[in-house]
Amino acid sequence: MIRVEFLGPIQKDPLELDINNLSQLATLLQETPEMAEWLANSAVAVNDTLVSTLNFPLKDGDKVSMLPPVCGG
Amino acid sequence: MIRVEFLGPIQKDPLELDINNLSQLATLLQETPEMAEWLANSAVAVNDTLVSTLNFPLKDGDKVSMLPPVCGG
Amino acid sequence: MLKLYDGGLDVPTILETWYTEESKSNYGAFIPFIGTIRDEDDIEGLSFDIYEPILEKWFKAWQEKAKTRNAVIKMAHSRGDVLLHESSYIACVFSPKRRVALEFINEFVEDFKASAPIWKYDLKNGKRIYALDRSTAIKGSGLLGVK
Amino acid sequence: MLKLYDGGLDVPTILETWYTEESKSNYGAFIPFIGTIRDEDDIEGLSFDIYEPILEKWFKAWQEKAKTRNAVIKMAHSRGDVLLHESSYIACVFSPKRRVALEFINEFVEDFKASAPIWKYDLKNGKRIYALDRSTAIKGSGLLGVK
């Protein structure tokens, strides 16, 4: 199973999904209209490392995080 | 009379001179060989304002200061 | 050194601690940056969420970068609510050289603003309102929106 | 605020005083620059001469410049001997905006180095040796050497 977490202001409970790559996650999340804006402006990390490609492979136990726009300080 | 002060590391006592402009001061100081290096690398202020022209007029009571290279901090 | 605090920061104490920690390290330049909550837009304060695992990795990468320039960085940030005129952020650089320190604090603070996984909320009428308009999408954002 | 002190600066106290002075002024960014005496070249410390009338005019001109950007600057410097690992210089800027503060502290510290009428001496074997090789001729220097 893959755990998907939504950070900061994204008001959504974590998901436990049976997927093999980020592309499958994109397809799943795009079915939820209220996620559209967050999908467009958020970065993605796998096991706390930012990733930049959709065909990033996922294995059992991986954690995916969605990071919306930031503003520290 | 014009008072001429030598600041910081220039080891020279102040002078009291009867001159009308900075050009005359330059001529006078250039007669002292040990002043050559300081004349080449120092800035000049009249009454605590930096000046940039030799024909700057001087009047009785003016103070001229020579400022060698600086390094605060 | 990265340290997170609940609420506003005790700026004088943190600055004194950092200065004392490096007092014999032979650094010639020390530059802190202190961020303070401004009274504007009728807010009562700001509030912060932090995702610590990625913040720590981000900070560690900057520590390595500092090391290559013989510099040291330290940082403190608030979690949760911070009221008007309190400080929520201190970063600093120590370096043997003035130029390195001046350039490094600039680069570090700018990348902090663009990349550190911290989310800011305005506090208004006791509510927390995400400051989307002042926020920056992390480089590479939008990956999951691609169809 | 320009203040000169005999010997090394009490950095934590000066920083706390400045921070407290502006704690309700609604500045979002505060950046101090602290210069500390490095142990190098077998010196026992540094020593400083200051020509105050021109330093004060120079600082006043920068205060005016700060005002045009809604910023405030403060500065402290040592007179006379400052020992190894003691600090001789603190400058700071307060500004509503981060970018203005980062740019201003850079410009201010660089012009300070190039223009402030302060002379530095190495302390070696109890002697004061003018640090000519690290010093900068003020803009327009050499006027009286022209033949």
Query: Per DSSP, what are the bridge partners of residue A16?
Result: A3
Confidence (pLDDT) at C90: 98
Instruction: Provide the domain limits for residue C104.
Output: 2-138
C114 contact D CB<8A: no
In this complex, which of B8, B40, B65 lies closest to D119 when CB atoms are compared? B8
CA distance D131 to chain C (A): 16
Positive/negative CA dihedral, C128, C132, C138, C142: positive
Answer whether C4's CB lies under 8 Å from C77's CB.
yes
**8 Å CB contact of C141 and A48:** no
Domain membership flag for residue C7: yes
Domain membership flag for residue C108: yes
Domain membership flag for residue D147: no
Q: What is the ipTM of this complex?
A: 0.95
Q: Find chain C residues with C-beta within 8 A of D114's C-beta.
A: none
Confidence of residue D147 (pLDDT cuts 50, 70, 90): confident
* CATH number for position D51: 3.90.1170.40
Count CB-CB contacts under 10 A for residue C9. 23
Domain membership flag for residue D67: yes
DSSP state of A32: -
Q: What is the DSSP string of D45-78?
A: EEEEEE-HHHHHHHHHHHHHHHHHTT-EEEEEEE
D109 contact C CB<8A: yes
Q: The tokens of A59 are what?
A: 């294995």
Average pLDDT over residues B65-73: 98
Count of C-D CB contacts under 8 Å: 90
How many domains does chain D contain in total?
A: 1
Chains C and D touch (3+ CB pairs under 8 A): yes
In this complex, which of D88, D135, D144 lies closest to B39 when CB atoms are compared? D144
**8 Å CB contact of D49 and B66:** no
**8 Å CB contact of B51 and D53:** no
**Model confidence pLDDT, tens digit, residues B12-68:** 999 999 999 999 999 999 999 999 999 999 999 999 999 999 999 999 999 999 999
- Please name each of the domains of chain A with its CATH number: 2-67 (3.10.20.30)
D86 contact C CB<8A: no
Q: The tokens of D57 are what?
A: 């005019």
What is the pTM for the complete model shown?
0.96
Average pLDDT over residues A16-41: 96
Chain B residue with Cα closest to D52? B48
Chain C residue with Cα closest to D37? C28
Domain membership flag for residue C119: yes
Q: List Cβ neighbours of B31 (8 Å cut-off, separation of 6 or more).
A: none
Chain C residue with Cα closest to D12? C16
**Model confidence pLDDT, tens digit, residues A55-64:** 999 999 999 9
In this complex, which of B9, B25, B43 lies closest to D141 when CB atoms are compared? B43
**8 Å CB contact of D34 and C39:** no
Domain membership flag for residue C146: no
